[in-house]
Amino acid sequence: MRRPAALGLVIRIIFISIYKIIKYLKLGVKTRKRKKRGERGKKGEKPFSLFSPQKGSSFMKVREKRIFSGKTFEPEFYCITKDGRRYSRGKKKQLSREVQKKLNDKNARKHLRRLLDTNFDESGYYCTFTYKDNEMPSSYENCKKDINNFLKRLRTARKRACLTEELKYVYVIELKVSARTGIARFHFHIVINGGLARSEIKKIWGKGDIKKVEELQPDEHGFNRLANYLCKDWNNRSLPDNRKRYTPSRNLKQPRTAPPKDGVFSPRYLERICKQRIDDADFWERRYKGYRFVDAEAIYNDDYGTWSLSVFMRKKE
């Protein structure tokens, strides 16, 4: 005689429930033993609860986020709750103003590097332009006007040369105060796409010395080194506080982020990768065919006992 399907389902639910209760009771026993020995948990640590996520618990799953920036590919892995929320700081765990500022700078620097990787290659130029003493602008706004006029002349030159691609650029204004004279001197760095000759670009500026007009040279980390150099003067208090960190052209393509994939790894397996296989090039190149492993960075979250992992790869030639 066949057993009804409903009865089989009920029995299965009962066994799963018993397994989960035993699992969490074991965690509770460990917590009680620790308290009996007089060991105190970390400051702000939540007490054990059957219904709150514990370290490495099944309430977590791992999300994979994939960012494509030109020849650069960056898969990122981090733990999320079952309803898809990323673990974040609680109200009592807000970062200090200085730490938050450093984190914001790091994220902005990463976005700038991805913008450069997406829109520029070896055919483009990295330039540094300065001013003659009698041409020096009196303010940050006047310096921006000079740059905008320079960009207009570049567009005109590109049209004259019958170049079909629009001008693309990213520029950063810097201000140096002379220790000897106390005079503030503006200069700016700019990255532009190729098409014009270097000699023609130098003629178009015309307001002072040209320190540098060089062809772009990405390395295995793309334009990471260039992005870091462009960001070096972001915290200059002599410049307006409300200025942009960098000014990109509106026609720049944004890095492409693929739809996230949830449940690619278990939290325990992600921890094992972070500890044992983080630099295993064969492992990553088998997983992502057509890309070459460069490096990876793993970060441990003490509050929730979770790992996050960022992998940096380049497209194979």
Give the CATH number, domain containing residue 166.
Answer: 3.30.70
**Core vs surface per residue 273-309: b (16+ CB within 10 A) or e:** bbeeebeeeeebeeeeeebbbbebebeeeeebbbbbb
Q: Is 41 helix (H, G, I), strand (E, B) or coil?
A: coil
The CA distance from 132 to 208, in Å, is 4
pLDDT for position 53: 43
Say if CB 294 and CB 221 are below 8 A apart: yes
Range of the domain at 152: 122-217
Structural Rg of the chain based on CA atoms: 27
Structure tokens at 145: 């006007």
pLDDT for position 237: 61
In a domain? residue 93: no
In a domain? residue 104: no
Digit-coded pLDDT (tens) for 151-205: 999 999 999 999 999 999 999 988 887 766 677 788 899 999 999 999 899 889 8
Displacement of CA 77 from its chain's centroid (Å): 13
Q: Is the pLDDT of residue 33 over 60?
A: no
CA distances (Å), origin 244, targets 169, 194, 199, 207, 285: 15, 25, 30, 24, 38
Digit-coded pLDDT (tens) for 82-104: 766 665 554 445 556 777 777 78
Say if CB 256 and CB 68 are below 8 A apart: yes
In a domain? residue 81: no
The CA distance from 182 to 197, in Å, is 37
Phi-psi region of 201 (alpha: psi -120 to 50; beta: other; left: phi over 0): alpha
In the chain, the amino acid numbered 26 is: K
The CA distance from 170 to 67, in Å, is 21
Counting the structural domains of the chain, the total is 2
Would you state the torsion angle of the CA atoms of residues 135, 138, 144, 145, taken in this order, to the nearest 10 degrees?
Answer: -60
What single string gives the DSSP state of each residue in 267-280?
HHHHHHIIIIITT-
Best CA proximity match to 299, nearest among 98, 77, 117, 131 = 77
In a domain? residue 76: no
**Neighbouring residues of 98: CB distance < 8 A, sequence distance ≥ 6:** none
Lowest model confidence (mean pLDDT) among 66-80, 155-169, 199-213 = 199-213
In a domain? residue 187: yes
Digit-coded pLDDT (tens) for 272-315: 999 999 999 999 999 999 999 999 999 988 877 889 999 999 99
Digit-coded pLDDT (tens) for 268-284: 999 999 999 999 999 99
Last residue of a domain, which of 52, 69, 86? 52
pTM attached to this predicted model:
0.74
Largest CA distance in the chain: 102
**H helix runs in the chain, sequence order:** 5-36, 97-119, 140-160, 198-205, 224-230, 267-272, 281-287
In a domain? residue 101: no
pLDDT for position 65: 95
Q: What strands lie across the sheet with 210-215, from one edge to the other?
A: 210-215, 125-129, 184-192, 169-177, 247-248
Digit-coded pLDDT (tens) for 254-270: 999 999 999 888 889 99
Q: Report which of residues 106 and 24 the model is more confident about.
A: 106
Q: Exposure of 266 by Cβ count < 10 A (0-12 exposed, 13-18 middle, 19+ buried)? A: middle
Q: Is 142 helix (H, G, I), strand (E, B) or coil?
A: helix
Last residue of a domain, which of 217, 237, 257? 217
In a domain? residue 44: yes
Q: Is the pLDDT of residue 40 over 50?
A: no
H or E segment to which residue 171 belongs: strand 169-177
In a domain? residue 61: no
Best CA proximity match to 173, nearest among 201, 198, 144 = 144
Q: Is the pLDDT of residue 42 over 60?
A: no
Last residue of a domain, which of 187, 217, 247? 217
Say if CB 76 and CB 310 are below 8 A apart: yes
pLDDT for position 107: 86
Q: Which residues pair with 66 in a beta bridge?
A: 75
Structure tokens at 215: 């062809």
